[in-house]
């Protein structure tokens, strides 16, 4: 069987396992193309834009002439207005020939462009094409923000805007619809170009309609792809469970969904202990795929690291959310929040800024921790004694917690309250990471993370450990925390959990104790 999961370029029906987005394509056609809208599909990298344009093109060619272009390798077009006009004319000429637009239309299109007034001449070509064609004409351009910092590009947008407005007044003929696809909204490109400056919204693309269609995959969407795969391989997987699990880790980010599926199919299946596809397409197999994804380089993660270097304020915001539990109101009007959403890093969760998905959270935790790991004494201690925490292939979490207590008391017990409030979570994760590295994963439960409490879930060789980290706020607060983690153990179907409390009382009592409640146990560590 030749079909594969696609993680680069457009997904092609018949060649790739892919989510069924037929209804989405139909909605774009009905709500945008038929109504003559000009719009931008601005989504993060590898978010399915190219696939959407490809499938939309296939659909629209039934009743439109579709001019499908890309600025991916068109840097030379933007050296002058003349080059842009000539380059676009060549590309559109190729599209017309591919769609058998007719000899008269093609001959008219290939007439020379004025050297003195290239954009005006190009505009006349558009009018002539749209008048001569029996079909309405749709223009779509992918990777549109590759050269969008160029004034010539803005002139091109100005031409499209002028012709659009004249068409509304009955004074010109032009494209039925124009679709520009890229990471950035064309109206806010100045944020990309000068991140430390005030954002400017002076683009001529203010005629564009808002593109509000959700392009992330729901669990039901993911299920359509798994059903296609299951028809070929008959693994017996629980499609509902696997779809839900994939969604929980990715929040439907298209590249991450497809990449995990590709890893399950091509890397996890056939390895110990997942010798067959049936063994791989399970919760345990997915955890193995997540581990591979987080430990191997890929273009999306490379781009993430680069963006955080380029935008230090965005990096600081993410660190405050992840390590500090900061509650920041979600407002896209804030340039730095808008940038985080544009890159796919951030989202709105109940009115507060949150990291977009569990994979990004863990990747960023790892990235930020690696920045400080080399010179950290606690990290070195964990690395040097890693093997003692693994017995018969299983993580000994009791020992991890007890040894963290010993090292913390030795190294950090005299630090002030502010230092620990800001760094307590970071120190524990810094200690935990090298111990589980290579065999286990961890993630932070977003719903419980705030400046007082964080729940960490560790997945190790198919076993889960629930650890609550919290700041000590007195005996009454601590008792409530103990009750919460017992309830949390019920949710995760675990008999034992762990609590790490950072106590700032002047006469604080530190130590380790085991608590029992309704048949469940908690190992509580107070530092």
Taken as a whole, the chain contains a residue count of 527
pLDDT over threshold 50, residue 356: yes
pLDDT over threshold 60, residue 432: yes
Selected residue with higher pLDDT from 6 and 422 = 6
φ and ψ at 143, to 5 degrees? 55, 45
pLDDT over threshold 80, residue 446: no
pLDDT above 70 as % of the chain = 91
Confidence of residue 222 (pLDDT cuts 50, 70, 90): very high
pLDDT at residue number 422 = 73
Selected residue with higher pLDDT from 155 and 472 = 155
pLDDT over threshold 50, residue 193: no
**CA separation for the pair 50, 11 (Å, rounded):** 8
pLDDT at residue number 326 = 84
Using CA atoms, how far residue 346 sits from 45, 251, 336, 488, in Å, is: 13, 11, 10, 26
pLDDT over threshold 90, residue 290: yes
- The model's pLDDT over 298-345, given as tens digits with 9 standing for 90+, comes to 999 999 999 999 999 999 999 999 888 888 999 999 999 999 999 999
Least Cα distance to 87 among 64, 67, 63, 71 occurs for 71
Selected residue with higher pLDDT from 448 and 92 = 92
Sequence-distant (6+) residues with CB within 8 A of 386 are 434, 435
Mean of the pLDDT values across residues 244-265?
97
pLDDT at residue number 75 = 86
Confidence of residue 129 (pLDDT cuts 50, 70, 90): very high
φ and ψ at 422, to 5 degrees? -85, -25
pLDDT at residue number 489 = 82
**CA separation for the pair 414, 416 (Å, rounded):** 7
Sequence-distant (6+) residues with CB within 8 A of 333 are none
pLDDT over threshold 90, residue 199: no
pTM of the model: 0.89
Q: Please check whether residue 428 is in contact with residue 421, taking contact to mean a CB–CB distance below 8 angstroms.
A: no
pLDDT at residue number 482 = 67
State whether residue 279 is helix, strand or coil: helix
Mean of the pLDDT values across residues 155-167?
95
The DSSP result for 112-172, as a single string, is PPPSSSHHHHHHHHHHHHHHH-SSEEEEEEESGGGSTTSHHHHHHHHHHHHHHHHHHTTS-
pLDDT at residue number 324 = 80
Classify the phi-psi angles of 252: left when phi > 0, otherwise alpha if psi is within -120 to 50, otherwise beta.
Answer: left
How far is the first Cα of the chain from the last one, in angstroms, to the nearest whole number?
57
Mean pLDDT, the chain, rounded, equals 89
pLDDT over threshold 70, residue 192: no
Confidence of residue 471 (pLDDT cuts 50, 70, 90): confident
| Neighbour tally for 480: CB within 10 Å | 13
pLDDT at residue number 448 = 59
pLDDT over threshold 70, residue 123: yes
pLDDT at residue number 191 = 40
Q: Tell me: domain 380-527, CATH 3.40.50, correct?
A: no
Selected residue with higher pLDDT from 364 and 201 = 364
Identify the CATH assignment for 20-207 out of 3.30.70.890, 1.10.3720.10, 3.65.10.10, 3.40.50.300: 3.40.50.300
| Neighbour tally for 381: CB within 10 Å | 18
Confidence of residue 461 (pLDDT cuts 50, 70, 90): confident
Confidence of residue 477 (pLDDT cuts 50, 70, 90): low
| Neighbour tally for 413: CB within 10 Å | 11
pLDDT at residue number 178 = 98
pLDDT at residue number 142 = 95
Secondary element (H or E) of residue 267: none
**CA separation for the pair 359, 250 (Å, rounded):** 6
Confidence of residue 149 (pLDDT cuts 50, 70, 90): low
pLDDT above 90 as % of the chain = 66
Selected residue with higher pLDDT from 160 and 423 = 160
**CA separation for the pair 305, 316 (Å, rounded):** 13
Least Cα distance to 330 among 312, 352, 300, 356 occurs for 352
pLDDT at residue number 151 = 81
């Amino acid at each position: 069987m030749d079909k594969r999961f696609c993680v680069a370029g457009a997904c092609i029906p018949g060649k790739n396992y892919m989510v069924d987005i037929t209804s989405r394509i139909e909605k774009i056609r009905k709500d945008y193309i038929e109504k003559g809208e000009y719009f931008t599909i601005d989504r993060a990298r590898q978010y399915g834009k190219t696939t959407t344009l490809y499938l939309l093109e296939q659909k629209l060619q039934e009743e439109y002439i579709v001019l499908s272009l890309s600025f991916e390798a068109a840097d030379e077009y933007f050296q002058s207005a003349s080059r842009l006009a000539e380059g676009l004319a060549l590309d559109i000429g190729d599209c017309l020939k591919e769609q058998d637009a007719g000899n008269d239309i093609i001959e008219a299109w290939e007439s020379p462009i004025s050297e003195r007034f290239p954009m005006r001449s190009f505009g006349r070509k558009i009018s002539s094409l749209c008048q001569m064609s029996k079909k309405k004409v749709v223009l779509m351009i992918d990777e549109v923000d590759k050269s969008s910092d160029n004034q010539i590009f803005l002139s091109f947008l100005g031409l499209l805007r002028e012709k659009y407005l004249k068409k509304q007044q009955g004074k010109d003929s032009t494209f039925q619809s124009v679709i520009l696809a890229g990471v950035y909204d064309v109206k806010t490109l100045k944020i990309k170009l000068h991140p430390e400056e005030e954002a400017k919204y002076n683009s001529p693309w203010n005629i564009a309609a808002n593109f509000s269609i959700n392009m992330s995959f729901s669990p039901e969407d993911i299920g359509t792809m798994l059903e296609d795969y299951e028809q070929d391989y008959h693994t017996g997987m629980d499609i509902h469970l696997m779809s839900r699990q994939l969604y929980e880790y990715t929040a439907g980010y298209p590249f991450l969904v497809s990449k995990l599926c590709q890893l399950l199919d091509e890397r996890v299946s056939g390895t110990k202990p997942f010798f067959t596809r049936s063994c791989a397409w399970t919760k345990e197999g997915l955890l193995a795929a997540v581990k591979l994804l987080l430990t191997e380089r890929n273009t999306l993660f490379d781009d993430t690291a680069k963006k955080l270097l380029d935008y230090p304020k965005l990096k600081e915001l993410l660190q405050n959310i992840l390590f500090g539990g900061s509650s920041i109101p979600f407002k896209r009007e804030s340039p730095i929040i808008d940038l985080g959403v544009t890159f796919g890093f951030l989202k709105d969760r109940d009115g507060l800024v949150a990291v977009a998905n569990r994979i990004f959270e863990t990747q960023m935790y790892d990235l930020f921790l690696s920045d400080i790991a080399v010179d950290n004494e606690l990290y070195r201690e964990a690395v040097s004694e890693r093997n003692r925490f693994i017995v018969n292939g299983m993580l000994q979490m009791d020992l991890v917690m007890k040894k963290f207590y010993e090292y913390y008391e030795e190294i950090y017990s005299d630090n002030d309250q502010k230092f620990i409030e800001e760094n307590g979570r970071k120190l524990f994760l810094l200690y935990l990471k090298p111990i589980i590295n290579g065999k286990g994963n961890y993630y932070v439960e977003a719903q419980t993370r705030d400046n007082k409490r964080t729940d960490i879930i560790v997945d190790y060789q198919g076993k889960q450990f629930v650890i609550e980290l919290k700041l000590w706020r007195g005996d009454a607060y601590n008792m409530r925390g103990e009750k919460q983690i017992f309830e949390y153990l019920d949710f995760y179907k675990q008999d034992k959990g762990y609590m790490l409390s950072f106590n700032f009382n002047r006469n604080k009592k530190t130590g380790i104790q085991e608590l029992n409640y309704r048949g469940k146990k908690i190992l509580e560590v107070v530092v």
